[in-house]
Amino acid sequence: IFYTLVGGLYSVAYTDVVQLFCIFVGLWISVPFALTNAAVSDITVTAVKQVYQSPWRGSVRREDTWVWIDNFCLLMLGGIPWQVYFQRVLSASSATYAQVLSFLAAFGCLVMAVPSVLIGAIGASTDWNQTSYGAIPPKEKDEADMILPIVLQHLCPPFVSFFGLGAVSAAVMSSADSSILSASSMFARNIYQLAFRQSASDREIVWVMRITIFVFGGLATV
């Protein structure tokens, strides 16, 4: 909240670079340690054959087809009207740079998704009875959505878990600070200025935005 309050878009943009680096390094450095853990079977085998758990390579049921299509469309098109994305595009030095940034971001999403997919496969290929987690797999305890931090905590050495969980925290913060800034910007410009104070100066709008950053950040924390 503090660095977003003080630095605005500059602080969010520069910290996002650091957070992106932490995510990339933290996740990729965790994968080899998790893969080579004694409790983990070969993920190429467990993709099609049941070893400790059911195969991790699933299939789409016919009745779920439209749900998958809807999710794909959400991921592909949902970011286009996202205000956080427009922060980056409108602050780019040129239209060409904004276009290049968008295409590189699409490629970066694919690269950043690979370690998460591998960690999910590792979680489905693990004999959890050999770990500190316990005998019951996360899927049977309805904790499949927490598989990333679970794998980092129970299948990696402590120093690797530190970097991996730091990567998860960086990913959360990267989205949180941008969302808080975008919500505050829209409130200050679209609601305060256009609806209540059309004659407000730029300085006044900036202070309204700073106050709403503090308010929205506090509400998000609560």
Write phi, then psi, for 135 (nearest 5 degrees): -75, -30
* Count of beta carbons in the 10 Å neighbourhood of residue 217: 20
Give whole-number Cα distances, 86 to 80, 102, 137, 138, in Å: 8, 11, 41, 38
8 Rama sector, left if φ>0, alpha if ψ -120 to 50, beta otherwise: left
pLDDT tens, 64-86? Answer: 899 999 988 887 777 667 777 77
Mean pLDDT throughout 124-149? 84
| Closest by Cα among 57, 39, 40, 61 to 48 | 57
Q: Is pLDDT above 70 for 1?
A: no
Q: Give the DSSP H/E element, type plus range, for residue 122.
A: helix 95-124
Nearest 10 degrees: CA dihedral of 166, 172, 178, 183?
Answer: -150
Distance CA 95, CA 159 (A): 42
Mean pLDDT throughout 47-76? 84
* Count of beta carbons in the 10 Å neighbourhood of residue 46: 22
Count of domains forming the chain: 1
Q: Is pLDDT above 80 for 13?
A: no
pTM value is 0.72
Cα first-last separation, the chain: 13
pLDDT tens, 81-103? Answer: 777 777 777 777 788 888 888 88
In this prediction, residue 5 has a pLDDT band, given cuts at 50, 70 and 90, of low
Q: Is pLDDT above 80 for 2?
A: no
Distance CA 46, CA 214 (A): 48
The pair of structure tokens assigned to 210 is 């700073």
Question: What is the reported pLDDT for 66?
Answer: 92
* Residue % of the chain over a pLDDT of 70: 95
Mean pLDDT throughout 140-158? 85
In this prediction, residue 3 has a pLDDT band, given cuts at 50, 70 and 90, of low
Give whole-number Cα distances, 60 to 2, 57, 125, in Å: 45, 10, 20
Question: What range defines the domain where residue 145 resides?
Answer: 2-221
More confident of the two residues 14 and 205: 205
Write phi, then psi, for 87 (nearest 5 degrees): -55, -45
Distance CA 110, CA 24 (A): 12
